[in-house]
Structure 1
Amino acid sequence: MSTLYLVGTPIGNLADITYRAVDTLRNVDLIACEDTRVTKKLCVHYEIQAPLKSYHDHNKEQQTDYLIEQLQQGNNIALVSDAGLPLISDPGYELVVAARDNGIRVETIPGPNAGLTALMASGLPSFTYTFLGFLPRKDKQKQSYLEQRMYENSTLIIYESPHRVKDTIKTIQKIDRDRKVSLGRELTKKFEQIVTDYVGNILDRLNDESIPTKGEFVVLIEGAEAVEDTAWFEDMSIKEHVDYHINQNMKPKIAIKQVAELRQMKTSEVYDIYHEV
Structure 2
Amino acid sequence: MGLYIETRIRATLDDLWARTQEPARHQRWDLRFTEIEYLPRAAGDPQRFRYATRLLPFVTIAGTGVSAGERERPDGTRTSALRFASPHPLSLLAEGSGYWRYVPDGDGVRFLTGYDYRPRWGAFGALADRLVLRPLMGWATAWSFDRLRLWLERGITPERALLNWLAELAVRALVVTLACTGLGLESLLLLLGPFAASTAYLCPLLLSVVVCLALFTAPLASTPAARRCLRTPPAHARAPRVLRSLENPR
Per the shorter chain, which TM-score range?
under 0.3
So what's the TM-score if we normalise by structure 1? 0.23
Q: Which has the higher contact order (CA 8 A, sep 6+)?
A: 2
Instruction: Report the TM-score when normalising by structure 2.
Output: 0.25
Higher relative strand content: 2
